[in-house]
Chains A and B, each alone.
Chain A
Amino acid sequence: MLEISHLYKKYMNSERFSVEDLNLSLKPGEIFGFLGQNGAGKSTTIKCLTGIYPFNSGSITICGHDIQKDPINAKLNMGYVPDNHSVYEKLTGREYVNYTADLYKVSKRDRNERFEKYVNQFKLMKAVDNQIKSYSHGMKQKICIIAALIHNPKLWVLDEPMMGLDHQSMVEILKRMDDHCAEGNTVFFSSHNLDLVSKICDRVAIIKDGRLQTVIDLHVKGNKETLETTFCKITATEQDIINEASTLSRNIVLHD
């Protein structure tokens, strides 16, 4: 579904690689979590695979289409939800989704069917004909998700989708992720929420300083339970260990 091979990405004015020799392979029907601290290279990787950023070397293929050589077909198989949920705020929700559907050549029947389904699922019925600039943070995120799913992509990429969302909205999105995978598609998302990742993902990758550290299969017994410990062991710096120790000692004093 998604193959990332020896990916290298360096920003123009940077001296070091933001992503270095990254290799990933995602299978159909799985939810894949992408973990790492702030600045580890998660968003950069996602922006490379969606075609937003060019990269220095390596290759990315989506459903067999190379993002550099055959970008149109690669993008046709992908839906993307950005971390800042930016949308064309002067359009109404319906206009925005229809615009996206047009770009992905979705038939009228399919778009009507999916539009109704997702708008109901995400409870946007009343707001869908309002200008997006009146939407709340969560509503903007939901309209982004509907637009990303309107063409039923084989690969659904989400960059920190749960940021700033209430519990109900998170449940709605998780349910949609689960349903999407059940239809044989793949979900690839980055997150900081280890608890959520361990509950919903089939596999997770941990990245640090632009390098892939490990890929963990959460179906293997014990991996779910130890995910947090493994993540901290891999990503923690010396300062993190000092911070954590000082926090713990303060807690002990408080409890005493």
Chain B
Amino acid sequence: MNIKTLLKLELKNRMKGNSQSKYSWLKSIFTVVLVAVAVYGLYLVAEIFFEMFDKAGIAYEALVILYTVFFLFMCFIGTSSTIKVLYYKGDNEILMRYPVSGTEVFVSKTLFLIITQFAVTAVIITPFLFGYAKTMELGEEFYKMIPVSVLFMMFIPFLLSNILAIPIMHVTNRIRNKFGLIIVGLAILVTLMFAVYMLLFNKMVTFMNDSEFSVFSDGFVQIIKDVATYLIPTKYFADVLIGHELYIAYPVLIGITGISLVGTILVIAKLYPKTLLNNIEVEGSAFKHKTKNRRRPIFVALLHKEFLQVFRSVNYSFQYFVLACAMPVMVYFCNNITMQLGKDQIGEQIALGMTLLVMLIFATVITSFSATSVSREGDNFYHTKVAPVSITKQLFVKFFMYLLVSVIANGICVGVLIFTKQVMVGVGLWLFVIVEALSIGLTLTSMRFDIKRPYFNLSGEGEVVNNNASTTLSVALGFIVAIVEGVLCMFLSYLAHDGFIVPGTEYILTEKMMYLVCSGFAIIFLVCSIFNYCFKLRKTYDKIAK
């Protein structure tokens, strides 16, 4: 009985907010529709993916590689969820006060994890398998085996995650306060994942443009074939599906499931209660950092505090510093592909507009962090009112930090584009000025959104729980600005290239005019943002009551 209640509590917690809202049913329908669209999207991508490999005669190998990537992904997701739900979740401390046994808490949480793992596995892998079946024109037998494959794919990573969770958690506990290391590691990981994703995407785009020829060289095809042979045990998942060497595939998969089940039972029986109790203590632990008393000018002191607040939070660092670090790589790849696409479909003249659009979209993602400037203060908001420093100065320091990060990120982006000869030096400098002007405008507008309506809803660690409405607004505005400026640049370049004559005059639209109009838009947006930010700033800030 307790297990059922605890499981219900866990599920309710996951869907909190939905049940209380008047329009919760609408939200549920929206979620279902969104998932259905995503699944269909994955199915379409899967079709192109397998067609591309099938053209090179390596569709089976592609399935094996896909299973391998997915297996690793599910192990990662499973381990991360197990650590969060079983060991780190704040409710462990609360649940231990109730008259429920540790076994009941464990079983209910494990059931919750299995449900989640099953949902993720089914939603992600099924469309790919349907895509494979469609491409390879497979029959009923294949579809019948999909549930078997999904179950293996769910249980094996889940059981392995339970074994891996404790050692991985010990490692993360050791490095959790090494913020510099975490930021660098995450930046490298995000960049690598993005690079691999974009390379594959690039191949798919090339294939879509000309599906008559294989996009892979003979050498590459051979490498994929060789690699796929050694991808054990993941190749057996594919074998079960297509009925290949079943006398090996089934025993291997059943054997792995059995061994990992025994391993999980041993780990849980021996280590779970001990680790849980230990973790309740570790979660609240903090680091020691010996410093000397040092006098700093007010501006530097405020900046130093602001930096530490972001730097010493893995969540904030990821949202801000990591994305800023990864931005140049993202811009490089995206720009490369969009330019290629644009040139092929429309013409070379839209390349600059595409670059502008891509840079502004990434700049928007980074600047949206400033939409939590005030909210992030949380319970410490009173400090900003009590301190003998004007509000304008305190806000300026926050702005200065955003400006610093934005200038560095945009500067490196433009540097990369110039270095890789995607743009010329002069054009690169113009791009930098325009993107920076619009970034400043967006930062100020986002800050103003938050000043007008801050959300002091923070988690136990003192961090903003959910991205608030100001962040959503800020991202939406950023995308609108990016599209307007990007499309304006593309459109005017296109017209200038064709020697368009302005109606009613003899004036021929030139490239110079395009630069002037785009610069004009950026300047107008910047000026409006500054005016909007400064207008009754102190009065609005004074109104905030926490």
Q: Are B295 and A90 in contact (CB under 8 A)?
A: no
Q: Are A92 and B295 in contact (CB under 8 A)?
A: no
Q: Are A76 and B388 in contact (CB under 8 A)?
A: yes
Q: Are A133 and B286 in contact (CB under 8 A)?
A: yes
Q: Are A131 and B389 in contact (CB under 8 A)?
A: no
The residues of A that contact B390 with a CB separation of less than 8 Å are 71-72
Q: Of B291, B300, B545, which one neighbours A95 at CB under 8 angstroms?
A: B291
The residues of B that contact A94 with a CB separation of less than 8 Å are 291, 293
The residues of A that contact B290 with a CB separation of less than 8 Å are 129
Q: Are B284 and A134 in contact (CB under 8 A)?
A: yes
Query: A92-B288, A131-B286 given. 19 additional CB < 8 A pairs?
Result: A50-B382, A51-B386, A52-B385, A72-B389, A72-B390, A88-B305, A95-B289, A98-B295, A98-B301, A99-B301, A102-B300, A103-B388, A103-B389, A108-B293, A129-B289, A129-B290, A129-B291, A133-B284, A133-B461
Q: Are B309 and A111 in contact (CB under 8 A)?
A: no
Q: Are B543 and A54 in contact (CB under 8 A)?
A: yes
Return 27 A-B CB contacts under 8 Å, by A number.
Answer: A11-B545, A12-B545, A47-B382, A53-B545, A54-B542, A75-B387, A75-B388, A82-B382, A86-B380, A90-B309, A92-B289, A94-B293, A99-B305, A101-B295, A102-B296, A103-B302, A103-B387, A106-B295, A111-B293, A111-B295, A129-B291, A130-B286, A130-B287, A131-B286, A132-B286, A133-B284, A134-B285
Q: Mark A75-88, 1 if CB is under 8 A from B, else 0.
A: 11000101010111
The residues of B that contact A112 with a CB separation of less than 8 Å are 293
Q: Are A91 and B295 in contact (CB under 8 A)?
A: no
CA–CA, A86 and B456, complex, Å: 13
CA–CA, A86 and B384, complex, Å: 12
Closest to B285 in A: A134
CA–CA, A131 and B177, complex, Å: 11
CA–CA, A131 and B291, complex, Å: 12
Q: Are B309 and A88 in contact (CB under 8 A)?
A: yes
Closest to A77 in B: B388
Q: Of B288, B309, B383, B387, which one neighbours A130 at CB under 8 angstroms?
A: B288
Task: Name the interface residues of B387-425: CB closer than 8 Å to any CB of A.
Answer: 387-390
B233 close to chain A: CB less than 8 A: no
CA–CA, A92 and B290, complex, Å: 9
Q: Are A52 and B295 in contact (CB under 8 A)?
A: no
A contacts, CB < 8 Å to B? 11-12, 47, 50-54, 71-73, 75-76, 80, 82, 84, 86-92, 94-95, 98-99, 101-108, 111-112, 115, 129-134
Q: Are B380 and A87 in contact (CB under 8 A)?
A: yes
Task: Name the interface residues of B262-317: CB closer than 8 Å to any CB of A.
Answer: 284-291, 293-298, 300-302, 304-305, 308-309, 312-313
A137: min CB distance to chain B, Å? 13
Interface size on B, residues (CB 8 A): 39
B379 close to chain A: CB less than 8 A: yes
The residues of A that contact B304 with a CB separation of less than 8 Å are 99
The residues of A that contact B313 with a CB separation of less than 8 Å are 90
CA–CA, A104 and B298, complex, Å: 8
Could you tell me the dominant secondary structure of chain A's interface residues? mixed
Q: Mark B535-546, 1 if CB is under 8 A from A, else 0.
A: 000000011010
Q: Of A72, A107, A131, which one neighbours B287 at CB under 8 angstroms?
A: A131
Q: Are A92 and B291 in contact (CB under 8 A)?
A: yes
The residues of A that contact B284 with a CB separation of less than 8 Å are 133-134
Knowing A91-B305, A130-B286, say if A50 contacts B385 (CB, 8 Å).
yes
Those 6 A-B pairs whose CB atoms lie nearest each other, nearest first: A131-B286, A102-B301, A86-B379, A134-B286, A75-B388, A90-B312
Knowing A52-B382, A105-B298, A129-B290, say if A90 contacts B388 (CB, 8 Å).
no
Closest to B304 in A: A99
CA–CA, A235 and B465, complex, Å: 41
Closest to A129 in B: B290
B342 close to chain A: CB less than 8 A: no
Residue of A75, A91, A98 contacting most chain B CB atoms (<10 Å): A98
The residues of B that contact A76 with a CB separation of less than 8 Å are 388
Closest to A111 in B: B293
The residues of A that contact B296 with a CB separation of less than 8 Å are 98, 102
Closest to A52 in B: B385
Q: Mark B349-392, 1 if CB is under 8 A from A, else 0.
A: 00000000000000000000000000000111011011111100
Residue of B291, B313, B380, B382 contacting most chain A CB atoms (<10 Å): B382
CA–CA, A124 and B188, complex, Å: 40
Q: Are B289 and A108 in contact (CB under 8 A)?
A: no
Q: Mark B329-349, 1 if CB is under 8 A from A, else 0.
A: 000000000000000000000
Knowing A94-B291, A102-B295, A103-B298, say if A89 contacts B462 (CB, 8 Å).
yes
Q: Mark B172-193, 1 if CB is under 8 A from A, else 0.
A: 0000000000000000000000
Closest to A151 in B: B388
Knowing A72-B388, A108-B293, say if A129 contacts B288 (CB, 8 Å).
yes
CA–CA, A108 and B292, complex, Å: 11
The residues of A that contact B286 with a CB separation of less than 8 Å are 130-134
Q: Are B386 and A50 in contact (CB under 8 A)?
A: yes
A212: min CB distance to chain B, Å? 23
The residues of B that contact A133 with a CB separation of less than 8 Å are 284, 286, 461-462
Residue of B302, B388, B543 contacting most chain A CB atoms (<10 Å): B388
CA–CA, A12 and B289, complex, Å: 43
B226: min CB distance to chain A, Å? 50
Closest to A47 in B: B382
CA–CA, A91 and B389, complex, Å: 20
CA–CA, A35 and B297, complex, Å: 39
Residue of B378, B386, B461, B543 contacting most chain A CB atoms (<10 Å): B386
CA–CA, A98 and B289, complex, Å: 14
Closest to A102 in B: B301
Closest to A89 in B: B462
Q: Are B287 and A75 in contact (CB under 8 A)?
A: no
B42: min CB distance to chain A, Å? 39
